[in-house]
Amino acid sequence: MFRVAIEVDAAKAIGDWQPIWRFFGADEPNYVYMPNGRRLIAELGKLAPGRVYFRAHHLLCSGDGVPALKWGSTGVYSEDETGRSFYSFTVLDRIFDALVESGVRPFVELGFMPRDLSVKPEPYQHAWAPGKKYDEIFTGWAYPPKDYSKWEELVYQIARHCVERYGRAEVEQWLWEVWNEPNIGYWQGTREEFFRLYDHAVAGLRRALPSARVGGPHTAGHGGQFMREFIEHCLRGTNYATGQRGAPLDFVAFHAKGAPGFVDGHVRMGIAQHLRTIKAGFELIASYPELGGKPVIIGESDPDGCAACPATLYPQYGYRNGPLYAAYMVAVLARKIELAQAM
């Protein structure tokens, strides 16, 4: 134990306090509509009804909706033996219903690839567990579609269904993204194949709802060269779906994580890496004047990058069930605002 002196100059104003902490998410979407999930979502909705967003992975994965560690499914898409497409919205409706009924808006992550659309469908559902190599998680759901027109139609059918079920005015307030962290193993295709995936997804989305708000690319870290090439594609590249110049980009998104360590019997948080990533991401985006005024979303902002890793195996994650977690997030939040103001 040691004493810490904190001085606060209450007479110095730095501007209005903006509520930017309204984005939440999880790997496993199917817990959202279960009893404990509904209770948690309801608490989030009470923070600011209609202004809180929830983002989850695996919304388009094939399966029966039974959750597992870092896994989820909805079975939204399938094909028969002739290749005819079928759509089932039952499980997806449960997820979105639970959010909307609690005053939480979906941050719709269009991913991952349904089994019947994947160019490499097997093995499909992973069996990853803590202690295994993380790359084992990237199975058939992480691959490009065998048919981009079917991929586009899938996104169109989902968006059209959501407009019919929840109303245009509601869905216009949702946020949509294509995939997750395509600059690492979550995308087992090439960079150009991801741009094609993005263009066709946005074409399907905007065909159903021309006013839909869509962005990305939700890179792991600031994205570096991948982010630059994605932005260049959206601003000046040839659109794979329309043949026209550029692609819609209503917001730019990346992820930032800390790097805790275990030193001399205690956890030492890695806030420096977290903030360096945010600063680099802001600077990269700010280097494009055409993006001025567009929202920047740090779609994942966590003290570490392994949410499913237990402290029993990795002692550096022992901070999670104590006050250090909350203190860290408050400190990062304050610095985020300073970095954003300096853009």
Q: What is the pLDDT of residue 34?
A: 96
Q: What is the pLDDT of residue 40?
A: 96
Paired sense of beta strands 104-110 and 52-56, if any: parallel
Cα 111 to Cα 155: distance, rounded to the nearest angstrom: 10
The tokens for 199 are 């263009």
Tokens 């929840």: give the residue. 166
Query: Tens of pLDDT along 21-64?
Result: 789 999 999 999 999 999 999 999 999 999 999 999 999 999 99
Contact between 23 and 299 under an 8 Å Cβ cutoff? The reply is: yes
Number of residues in the chain: 343
Q: What is the pLDDT of residue 6?
A: 86
Q: What is the pLDDT of residue 235?
A: 98
Strand segments, DSSP code E, in 179-331 are: 213-219, 251-257, 261-263, 266-268, 296-302
**Across all residues in the chain, what is the average pLDDT?**
95
Start-to-end CA span in the chain (Å): 38
Identity of the amino acid at 243: G
Among 283, 288, 212, smallest CA distance to 254 is for: 283
Tokens 């509509």: give the residue. 33
Query: Tens of pLDDT along 233-290?
Result: 999 999 999 999 999 999 999 999 999 999 988 899 999 999 999 999 999 999 999 9
Contact between 69 and 134 under an 8 Å Cβ cutoff? The reply is: no
Strand segments, DSSP code E, in the chain are: 23-26, 52-56, 77-79, 85-87, 104-110, 175-178, 213-219, 251-257, 261-263, 266-268, 296-302
Query: Tens of pLDDT along 66-117?
Result: 989 999 999 999 999 999 999 999 999 999 999 999 999 999 999 999 999 9
CA distances from 66 to 38, 107, 146, 205 (A): 16, 21, 26, 27
CATH 3.30.2010.10 fits 23-249, yes or no: no
Q: Which residues have C-beta within 8 Å of that of residue 318, sequence separation ≥ 6? A: 262, 267, 311
The tokens for 226 are 């991948």
Contact between 182 and 224 under an 8 Å Cβ cutoff? The reply is: no
DSSP-derived secondary structure letter, 53 = E
The tokens for 337 are 């605002």
Paired sense of beta strands 296-302 and 251-257, if any: parallel
Q: What is the pLDDT of residue 308?
A: 87
What are the sequence ranges of the domains in the chain?
Answer: 23-249
Contact between 59 and 92 under an 8 Å Cβ cutoff? The reply is: yes
Q: What is the pLDDT of residue 19?
A: 75
pLDDT beyond 80 at 178? yes
Ramachandran class of 246: left when φ > 0, alpha when ψ lies in -120 to 50, beta otherwise: left
Among 94, 55, 102, smallest CA distance to 74 is for: 94
Q: In sequence order, what DSSP letters do the residues of 174-193 get, joined into one string?
A: -EEEESS-TTTTT--S-HHH
Contact between 180 and 215 under an 8 Å Cβ cutoff? The reply is: no
Q: In sequence order, what DSSP letters do the residues of 213-246 get, joined into one string?
A: EEEEEEESTT-HHHHHHHHHHHHHSBPTTT-SB-
3-state helix, strand, coil split of the chain in percent (to 5) is 40, 15, 45
